[in-house]
Amino acid sequence: MDIFKRITEHRTEKETLAWTGTFAEYIDLVRQYPGLAKTAHARVYEMIASQGINDQSGNKSYTFFNKEIFGLDRAIEKLVEEYFHSSARRLDVRKRILLLMGPVSGGKSTIVTMLKRGLEQFSKDDLGAVYAIKGCPMHEDPLHLIPQDLRSEVERELGVRIEGTLCPSCQMRLKTEYNGCIEDVLVERVLISEEARVGIGTFSPSDPKSQDIADLTGSIDFSTITEFGSESDPRAYRFDGELNKANRGIMEFQEMLKCDEKFLWNLLSLTQEGNFKAGRFALISADELIIAHTNETEYKSFIANKKNEALQSRMIVMPIPYNLRVSDEEKIYFKLIGQSDMSHIHSAPHALRVAAIFSILTRLKETKKQGMDLVKKMRMYDGEVVEGYKEADLKEMQNEFIEEGMSGIDPRYVINRISSALIRQDLQCINALDVLRALKDGLDQHPSITKDERERYLNFISVARKEYDDIAKKEVQKAFVYSFEESARTLFDNYLDNIEAYCNWGKIKDALTGDEMDPDERLMRSIEEQIGISENAKKAFREEILIRISSYSRKGRRFDYSSHERLREAIEKKLFADLKDIVKITTSTKTPDEKQLRRINDVTKQLIDGHGYCPVCANELLRYVGSLLNR
C-alpha cells in the first residue's frame, strides 16, 4: 500500500507542475519572472549553483558534484567557472563544444550523467522551469514567436534577450492553426527528460556506413509525401533527431571523436551561430549545451589531423584527470562496492585504503623537489602535514606537471580485482592483504601494461604493504592502550608543564611531595624524539607549542593533545613505544595464559566496538601484527 501511495503522490506532483496557457498569459509570467527566458547554458549553471558553492581559501567546491565525484575539485572548479559560469553570462565560450578529455574510468561519463539527471530534477523547480510552444517537436522558446522587428522593444520592456527563430513546424502551425495570431498560441510547461526525449539528446557513434545523419537532424516521413506533396513541407518531416530533441537543454556526444566527419560538421554552425541545417529547410535554431567526452589518445589523433582545425577551434577542452587523493579514492571504491550485490561482505578498515594508496602512487609523477618522494607527495596531496614542507610546496607540486593524473591504474581495474577476490572466496570479510593479493595477481592479466610498468606497479604494491604494516601496528597498539584518551591527556599535560617551566626558566612542583624540581628533560626528549625533533630544534618546537596555546586561549578555545598534529603524533608514538613489548608478547603467544587471553579478548572487543572491525578481521589483524613484531 505504501508503494502505491507513493506512486499516486508522484503522479499528483507531476500534475501539479503542469501549466498550459496562451502566449499572452506566458508574457505576463515572463514580465514577473524574467529568468524564465534563460538560455540552456544559464539553466545548467544555475542548477549547479543552486545546490551550494563552498569557497575556502580561494578554492571552490560545488555541492552538486560532491555525492558522486571525489577528488576532482580543481578540475570541477575549472569546468564550472571557465565554461558553465562564463557561458551563463552569454560570453563567447557558450559557442563552443565542451569536450571532457581524460583517461578511462576517470569520471567523464559520471559528470555528464549527473548534469542530465540534475537538469531533469531542476526543471521541476520554479527556478529551473521550462516553458515551450505546445506541440512543438523541439519544445522551443515561446519568445521566438515575437517578430524580429519588434524584439528590441520587447526585450527592453521585459528585461530579457531573445535569440533564435521559429522552427519550420511552428512557422506553419502559426499560419494554419492560429491565423498568425501569436497571442493565441498555446504554451505549456515541459519537464526535461532524457527518457521522454525532452531537452536531452544523446548521440553514440556506430558503424559509419550504416549510421544516418538523420539520427542527428531528423528525417523525411515518406509515408506523408503523397499527402503533403513536398519534401520541404514541415508536416512531411520528422523533427526527431538528437539535435532537435536536445533543444533547451543538453546534447551529449558519447565518444565524439570516434564519429564520422559528416556528423561533426553539423556542429560547426550549431556552436557558432546557434542553428543547424536539416532537410530542405532554412537553418533551424537550437539552444543547447553540447558536451562530449573522449580519451587523450583519440584527442591527440584528432588534433593531428589538419582537416579538423575548424572544429577544434570551436571546442573548449577540459582535462578530467584521475583523482590524486587517497581518502577520495577510498570513497570511490566504497561507492562502487555499495552499488553492487556484494555490499553485505564486510570490508575491514583500511582494506580499500591500501588499494587507494597503490592506485594513487601509479598516477603521481616524481617531483624535482629535494627530499620529496612519492609517498610523502601522496600524503601531502591527501592533506597530511609532512615535516619540512609547507602549503606553498604543495601548490608548487600540483602545478609542476600538467599531465599528472592522466595516466596510471584506473578505478575500474581496482574494483574488478576486488570483485574477483570477493567472488572467488566464500568470504565474510575482505581485508587489506586480500586486496593487495588480488591486485598483484591481476597485473599478469592486465592487457595494456608493459613489462617495465608491471615491475613498477609491483613495487608500488610493496610500498602499499609497508604503509599497511605501519597502520596495522598502530591500530593494535592503540587498542592495547586502555583508557587511551586519559593516558594521552595525562602524558600531554605533563609535557606541557615541563616545557612551560623550561621556556620560562622555572621549576616543576612534584605532585606528591610538593618539592620543586627542574623540568624533566628526559621526558620531554622521549616525546620529541618520536617525531624527529633534534636537540638543536627542541627549543623552537617547545616555544611553538606555547605560542599555539596562547593563541587558542585568546580565542577562547581549549588546547588539547590533538590540537597540534605533530604533538599528537609524538604523544601516541610515545605511548605505543612503551607498550610495544606487551603487544608483541601477547599477540604472538600460541598458548596464552589466562591473563594474556583476557587481554587479547579485551583488545579484540576494542577493535570491534571502537575501530570498525568484525570478529574475523580483528583476529586476523592481531595474528598479522604479532608476526610483524616478531620479525
CATH of the domain at 307: 3.40.50.300
* Structural domains of the chain, count: 3
Structural domain contains residue 14: no
Contact 103, 322 (CB under 8 A): yes
Signed CA dihedral, 88, 90, 93, 98: sign only: positive
- Per-residue DSSP letter, 197: T
In degrees, to the nearest 5, what angle opens at C-alpha 253 toward C-alphas 190 and 315?
A: 105
Structural domain contains residue 15: no
Strands in 338-428 per DSSP E: 346-347
One-letter amino acid of 2: D
CA distance 90 to 530: 58
CA distance 104 to 415: 14
Q: What is the distance of C-alpha 213 from the center of its chain?
A: 34
132 and 56, same domain (yes or no): yes
Residue in 221, 56, 25 with CA at minimum distance from that of residue 131? 25
- Would you call 75 helix, strand, or coil by DSSP? helix
Last residue of a domain, one of 290, 319, 348: 319
What dihedral angle (degrees, nearest 10) is formed by the CA atoms of 204, 207, 209, 215?
-20
Structural domain contains residue 519: yes
Which three three-digit cell numbers place residue 607?
577493535
Contact 279, 218 (CB under 8 A): yes
Alpha carbon distances (Å) from 478 to 233, 468, 485, 575, 578? 79, 15, 10, 9, 12
155 and 293, same domain (yes or no): yes
Contact 487, 494 (CB under 8 A): no
Which residues are CB-neighbours of 544 under 8 A, at least 6 positions away?
none
279 and 333, same domain (yes or no): no
Q: What is the per-residue pLDDT across 443-470, written as a single tens digit (0 to 9) for each?
A: 877 767 888 889 999 999 999 999 999 9
- Per-residue DSSP letter, 260: -
pLDDT score at 57: 66
501 and 624, same domain (yes or no): yes
**Domain range spanning residue 331?**
326-468
Residue in 397, 337, 408 with CA at minimum distance from that of residue 371? 397
Per the rule left: phi > 0, alpha: psi between -120 and 50, beta: everything else, 439 is alpha
- Residue 221: count other Cβ atoms within 10 Å of its Cβ: 16
pLDDT along the chain (631 residues), means of 10: 80 86 96 94 95 81 91 93 94 91 90 96 94 95 95 94 93 93 96 94 79 84 77 86 94 84 78 85 91 88 84 90 95 85 81 95 92 93 88 90 91 86 74 92 80 91 95 85 71 89 86 80 91 90 90 86 82 78 71 76 86 89 84 67
Structural domain contains residue 32: yes
pLDDT score at 26: 96
176 and 276, same domain (yes or no): yes
Partners of 426 in the beta sheet? none
Which residues are CB-neighbours of 307 under 8 A, at least 6 positions away?
261
pLDDT score at 1: 55
CA distance 331 to 337: 10
Which three three-digit cell numbers place residue 350?
583500511
- Residue 127: count other Cβ atoms within 10 Å of its Cβ: 15
In degrees, to the nearest 5, what angle opens at C-alpha 393 toward C-alphas 570 and 391?
A: 65
603 and 546, same domain (yes or no): yes
Residue with cell 613484531: 629
Residue with cell 499572452: 24
477 and 460, same domain (yes or no): no
Structural domain contains residue 5: no
Structural domain contains residue 546: yes
Contact 251, 115 (CB under 8 A): no
421 and 364, same domain (yes or no): yes
Q: The whole model's pTM is what?
A: 0.83
pLDDT score at 364: 95
310 and 228, same domain (yes or no): yes
CA distance 306 to 499: 70
Which three three-digit cell numbers place residue 552?
587558542
pLDDT score at 282: 87
What dihedral angle (degrees, nearest 10) is formed by the CA atoms of 501, 502, 506, 511?
40
Last residue of a domain, one of 303, 319, 335: 319
Partners of 133 in the beta sheet? 187
334 and 453, same domain (yes or no): yes
398 and 510, same domain (yes or no): no
First-residue to last-residue Cα distance in the chain:
63
Strands in 309-436 per DSSP E: 315-319, 346-347, 429-430
The secondary structure of 105-162 as a DSSP string is: TSSHHHHHHHHHHHHHHHTTSSTT-EEEETT-TT---GGGGS-GGGHHHHHHHHT---
pLDDT score at 455: 92
Structural domain contains residue 4: no
Last residue of a domain, one of 266, 290, 319: 319
Contact 364, 374 (CB under 8 A): yes
Alpha carbon distances (Å) from 527 to 481, 490, 501? 17, 13, 16
463 and 540, same domain (yes or no): no
Structural domain contains residue 205: yes
Residue with cell 507531476: 14
